[in-house]
């Protein structure tokens, strides 16, 4: 018998949360992140915050937000709710967190060692949020450990694909937050071969699209990968920024998928680590089997 139901309440336009609340009204809500995603449809950050925070409806029992969420005081005031924070400093029972590189994270929790098989700070934060929710439901630490250790990333969600070329497949979607997070992760990994970045456009960013893609270039400069391949109209801002700041590694931009694939296949070598990332409409996952074909 099922005791709990977990539902994703993602929104990309004003009014969508009202529709979801008409279908189900959560007893506990967790707001994992507020960023620029869907700004093009929403119109403003204020509208995004307002729409997402509707999840904390008038009869909800408990609400959680990330300790990094700058909008927490605003949400508490407008929704008349006291929210719990989750994260490295806020989730109770966390003694230490150690990166395992390509193998995820080790979380020391209430005398137990949890091996989270998911990479990147974003997945770690989601796990810490899940621990917070589970604790509020009085779920035993051993059950929390078991649940988190059985979790494996699905396709397109920061999945590591081993082979002659190791692929970080993170192409289900892309926002400035998620792209920065996976680039930070890639930069943190010791790697004997070359690191290559293949990025598609970040869509639905509205008036901040050009700025966000320029900032993406700044992030790439700190990483200094062996090569960068950019795909999509919006990424020309990234390309121009890298050129202007003297990026001296192989750099490529195209709006044609076949040209992108040919470039990636020509450059990639055995032993490389290749990140594939882009918004859903860019269909970057098509590159994965092509890269895997390199023996």
Nearest to 94 by CA among 130, 119, 63, 120: 130
Residue 150 lies in a domain: no
Residue 118 lies in a domain: no
The predicted structure's pLDDT at residue 119: 96
**Residues facing 112 on adjacent strands:** 109
CATH number, domain of 40, equals: 3.40.1190.10
Beta strands in the chain (DSSP E): 28-31, 62-66, 84-86, 94-99, 105-109, 112-116, 159-161, 166-170, 195-200, 227-231, 251-254, 273-277
Residue 24 lies in a domain: yes
Using H for helix, E for strand and C for coil, what is the string for 58-125? CCCCEEEEECCCCCHHHHHHHHCCCCEEECCCCCCCEEEEEECHHHCEEEEECCEEEEECCCCHHHHH
Nearest to 32 by CA among 120, 115, 127, 104: 127
**Domain region containing 170:** 159-292
Query: What is the DSSP secondary structure assignment for residue 169, as one 8-state letter?
Result: E
Q: How many residues does the chain have?
A: 295
Token look-up 């937000």 returns: 65
| H or E element, residue 135 | helix 121-136
**Tens of each residue's pLDDT in the chain, 295 residues:** 899 999 999 999 999 999 999 999 999 999 999 989 889 999 999 999 999 999 999 999 999 999 999 999 999 999 999 999 999 999 999 999 999 999 999 999 999 999 999 999 999 999 999 999 999 999 999 999 999 999 999 889 999 999 999 999 999 999 999 999 999 999 999 999 999 999 999 999 999 999 999 999 999 999 999 999 999 999 999 999 999 999 999 999 999 999 999 999 999 999 999 999 999 999 999 999 999 998 6
CA angle, 248 then 227 then 180, to 5°: 100
Answer with the one of 35, 58, 86 that is the final residue of a domain. 86
Answer with the one of 51, 86, 121 that is the final residue of a domain. 86
Residue 115 lies in a domain: no
Residue 177 lies in a domain: yes
What whole-number distance in Å separates Cα of residue 190 and Cα of residue 71?
A: 35
Q: Model confidence over 173-202: pLDDT tens digits?
A: 999 999 999 999 999 999 999 999 999 999
CA distances from 220 to 81, 179, 230, 233 (A): 39, 10, 12, 18
What whole-number distance in Å separates Cα of residue 259 and Cα of residue 256?
A: 5
Answer with the one of 86, 112, 136 that is the final residue of a domain. 86
Q: What total number of domains does the chain contain?
A: 2
The predicted structure's pLDDT at residue 1: 86
CA 82 to chain centre: 26
Do 64 and 169 lie in one domain? The reply is: no
Residue 190 lies in a domain: yes
CATH number, domain of 192, equals: 3.90.190.20
Residue 48 lies in a domain: yes
The predicted structure's pLDDT at residue 295: 64
Do 168 and 288 lie in one domain? The reply is: yes
Do 163 and 285 lie in one domain? The reply is: yes
């Amino acid at each position: 018998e099922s005791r709990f139901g977990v539902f994703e309440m993602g929104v990309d336009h004003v009014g969508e949360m009202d529709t979801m609340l008409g279908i189900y009204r959560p007893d506990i809500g967790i707001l994992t992140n507020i960023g620029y995603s869907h700004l093009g449809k929403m119109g403003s950050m204020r509208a995004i915050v307002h729409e997402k925070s509707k999840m904390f409806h008038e009869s909800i029992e408990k609400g959680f937000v990330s300790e990094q969420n700058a909008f927490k005081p605003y949400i508490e005031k407008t929704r008349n709710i006291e929210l719990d924070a989750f994260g490295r400093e806020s989730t109770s029972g966390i003694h230490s967190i150690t990166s395992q590189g390509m193998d995820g994270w080790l979380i020391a929790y209430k005398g137990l060692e949890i091996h989270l098989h998911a990479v990147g700070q974003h997945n770690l934060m989601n796990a810490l949020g899940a621990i917070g929710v589970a604790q509020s439901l009085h779920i035993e630490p051993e059950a929390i450990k078991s649940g988190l250790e059985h979790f494996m990333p699905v396709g397109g969600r920061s999945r590591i694909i081993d082979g002659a070329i190791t692929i970080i497949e993170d192409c289900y979607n892309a926002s400035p937050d998620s792209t920065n997070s996976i680039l930070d992760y890639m930069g943190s990994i010791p790697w004997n071969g070359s690191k290559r970045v293949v990025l598609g456009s970040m869509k639905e960013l509205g008036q901040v699209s050009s700025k966000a893609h320029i900032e993406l270039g700044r992030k790439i400069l700190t990483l200094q990968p062996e090569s960068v391949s950019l795909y999509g109209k919006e990424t020309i801002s990234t390309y121009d920024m890298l050129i202007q700041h003297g990026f001296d590694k192989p750099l490529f931009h195209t709006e044609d998928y076949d040209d992108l694939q040919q470039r990636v296949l020509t450059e990639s070598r055995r032993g490389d680590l290749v990140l594939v990332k882009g918004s859903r409409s860019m269909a970057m996952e098509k590159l994965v089997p092509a890269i895997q074909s390199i023996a």
